[in-house]
Structure 1
Amino acid sequence: MSFIDRLRRLLPAALGGQRPPVVAVLRLEGVIGGLGGLRQGLTISSTAELIERAFRVKPLSAVALVINSPGGAAAQSALIYQRIRALAEEKNIPVFAFCEDVAASGGYMLAIAADRIYAHPMSIVGSIGVVSGGFGFEKAIEKLGIERRLYTAGENKRRLDPFLPEKAEDIERLKELQADVHTGFKDMVTGRRGGKLTAGADVLFNGDVWIGQRAVDLGLIDGVGEIRTTLKAEYGPKVRLVPIAHRGRRLFPFGPRIGAESAPGLGEGLAGGLIATVEARGLWSRFGL
């Protein structure tokens, strides 16, 4: 080390000394996708500004993603992933991911946007699969004496309508779509983690989940650790973590769900919002959370 370098270590940054490494910390927490009404899930529209700001921090050594998500909408997961990767490659900035309670399904898709993934020993990781769920209300509305009125242009626009009986052909079509999404998800995982994976597709891509060290053994993550300890080991004890948060945004927890594709009445909007809330709760409860 030269005399100048030693001097910079001793001087404050304002006087030309060496600045401590800086890592922008971006928290990605919650169900992925729109939840209906004024409820806010993780979407590209809700995270794009935060992602951009994380990569604009100067001087920047790395970006850390803190992930706590049971998954949700596949397209939104992929869009957030793509935005992170695009900026990481454009600016040549390494990305770390730290899984908290759960990084499953779409939550794990967010994690593989990182160059290295860490988790707590009790974090739930994986669920590389596709799931669709809903409710059937046809018997309920019949019992209540409610008549369902639905008008469409296109014979398949009413597929899997929750107020109509299920049809075998509709379920088969849904499974075909799920298979296509699953293939895309598997391709993303193998593209990002391929050389590190230690098990076959029948183990890794069957929708199962694993805890901490087992996920390391399978190559799904790189290590067990939490953000501060890991980044101090990587960048030194003086590393500075800079949280990236919304600026003064207030999120309201409830509201009617008014879809853009149709114009439902208020009752149906409230029902849609309630269903979205129940489905979100169901995603978390799958992992005991």
Structure 2
Amino acid sequence: MSEQNWERALLEKLASEALVEQRRKRRWGIFFKCLGFVYVGVIILSALGLAAPQTLEVTKHTALVQLNGVIASDSLASADRINSSLKAAFESKDSVGVVLRINSPGGSPVQAGLIYDEMKRLRAKYPDKPLYAVVEEVCASGGYYVAAAADKIYVDKASLIGSIGVIMNGFGFTEAMKKVGVERRLITAGDNKAFLDPFTEQNAYQTEFARQMAQEIHKQFIQAVKDGRGERLKSGPDTFSGLVWTGQTGVEMGLADELGSLEGVARDVLKAEEILDYTEQESFAERFAKRVGVQFASGMRSVMPSVGWGEPLFK
């Protein structure tokens, strides 16, 4: 074979081997990409609760429902989520009792009232299955409204409980507008349609109307606490004033029953040391939507600031 033919054959062989190696790399690349997509898909499906359910052996246990954060219709502590979780906990044939662990500063009186009513209903429907509230750091205002519906309330000696009151708040900008030279142009149909508008002078009639509304809701709150606590409550002049007390003082006042923790109640009271959490969790889709929503709202606030009179809150 001539030198020229030998060089040509060598080049063709090298080119062929390079092509084979390139194809091999491409196939492995496609394989690993597909494997990656499958892995990500499994994670997403699992987060969305669409993957195949796992078999879980359940024995006699303490059913746990957690109420954390502000009680509101759009929060994890909404009545829809908490009531759904409580219902599942009570319906379980293997739960010997239900513990509602509360760590909340309060929130919407409507949402708190809905949870309170559902707790009463479930207690009546399942009279042999006790419902206990266990307080950690804070169980104030709307959080305490909810706790009052439990058979017993357990607290830590340093927990903060109480704040049996109602607050409605807002801001007034009329003086600032005068200094800046801003004119408020407001058109309404109905004398009180611009109820307590922060950009107009305070209206005595509307202010008094709002105060009476807060007092009405406060009376509902007080009655719910009295109904829930019964003769255990030792009412004093400050009991319903909105003050907050430590867990130790709360026990002395009858706002709580005993000092205790989740583990202690499960072990010593319900005699079911195994704890199973029935709290409805936030899905991946909800977390993603919420993050997008927060970013969008943050951007909108930066260009369209808005301050108004707040809704009644248990705070």
How would you bin the TM-score normalised by the shorter chain?
Answer: 0.7 to 0.9
Instruction: Find out whether 1:194 has 2:230 as its counterpart.
Output: yes
For the aligned residue pairs, the C-alpha RMSD in angstroms reads: 3.0
- 2:277 partner amino acid: V
- Is residue 114 of structure 2 the alignment partner of residue 75 of structure 1? no
Matched, 1:176 2:203: no
30, 52, 64: which one pairs with 1:25?
Answer: 64
CA offsets, 1:89-143, max 9 Å, x none? 2233311101111111111001112111011111100011111112223344555
Structure 2 residue matching 1:32: 3-state secondary structure: coil
1:242 aligns with 2:282: no
From 80, 94, 102, give the equivalent of 2:130.
94
Contact 1:48 1:83 in 2 (8 A): yes
1:129/1:148 CA distance change after superposition, 3 Å: same
* Distance (Å, rounded) in 1 between the aligned partners of 2:198 and 2:224: 32
CA-to-partner distance for each residue in 1:216-262, whole Å, 9 max, x for gaps? Answer: 000000111110012200133644333423252424372667xxxxx
Residue identity in the other structure for 1:271: P
Output one character per residue of 1:46-70: Cα deviation in whole Å (capped at 9) or x when no partner. Answer: 4343233232333221111111111
Please say if residues 61 and 273 of structure 2, whose CA atoms lie closer than 8 Å, have aligned partners that are also in contact: no
Does 2:145 correspond to 1:109?
yes
For the pair 1:271 / 2:305, whether they are aligned, the reply is yes
The superposition leaves residues 178-218 of structure 1 with CA deviations (integer Å, 9 ceiling, x where unpaired) of: 11111111111111112101233x22111111101110000
Q: Deviations for 1:129-158, whole angstroms, at most 9, x for unmatched residues? A: 111112223344555565544433321121
1:25-50 alpha-carbon deviations (Å, 9 max, x no partner): 1111111225xxxx636332343432
> What residue identity is the alignment partner of 1:254?
V
> Between Structure 1 and Structure 2, which shows a larger proportion of helix residues?
2
Confirm or deny: 8 A CA contact 1:197 1:219 kept in the other structure: yes
Post-superposition offset of 1:86: 1.4
Aligned to 1:61: 96
Tell me, in whole angstroms, the C-alpha distance in 2 between the residues paired with 1:138 and 1:268.
Answer: 22
Distance 1:159 1:274 in 2: 10
Counterpart-to-counterpart distance in 2, 1:67 and 1:77: 12
Q: Secondary structure at the match of 1:99?
A: strand
Match runs of 1:147-166 below 5 Å: 147-166=183-202
CA contact (8 A) 1:50 1:244 kept: yes
2:294 maps to which of 248, 254, 257 = 254
| Aligned residues of 2:166 and 2:214 also touching (Cα < 8 A) | yes
Contact 2:266-2:275 at 8 Å conserved across structures: no
CA distance in 1, matches of 2:155, 2:207: 36
Distance 1:192 1:164 in 2: 42
- Contact 1:24 1:244 survives alignment (8 Å): no
User: 3-state SS of the aligned residue for 1:136?
Assistant: coil
Aligned to 2:253: 218
Distance 2:303 2:149 in 1: 35
How many matched pairs? 249
The percentage of aligned residue pairs carrying the same residue is: 34
Normalised TM-score (structure 1): 0.75
**Does the residue aligned with 1:26 lie in a helix, a strand or coil?**
strand
TM (norm. structure 2) is 0.69
Superposition map of 1:202-213 within 5 A: 202-213=237-248
Unaligned runs of 5+ in 1: 1-13, 258-265, 284-289
1:49 is matched by which residue type in structure 2? S
* Aligned amino acid, residue 223 of structure 1: E
The structure-2 alpha-carbon separation of the partners of 1:256 and 1:74, relative to structure 1 and needing over 3 Å to count, comes to: farther
Does structure 1 retain, via aligned residues, the 8 Å contact 2:197–2:308?
Answer: no
Given that 1:21 and 1:240 are in contact with CA atoms closer than 8 Å, whether structure 2 keeps it comes out as no
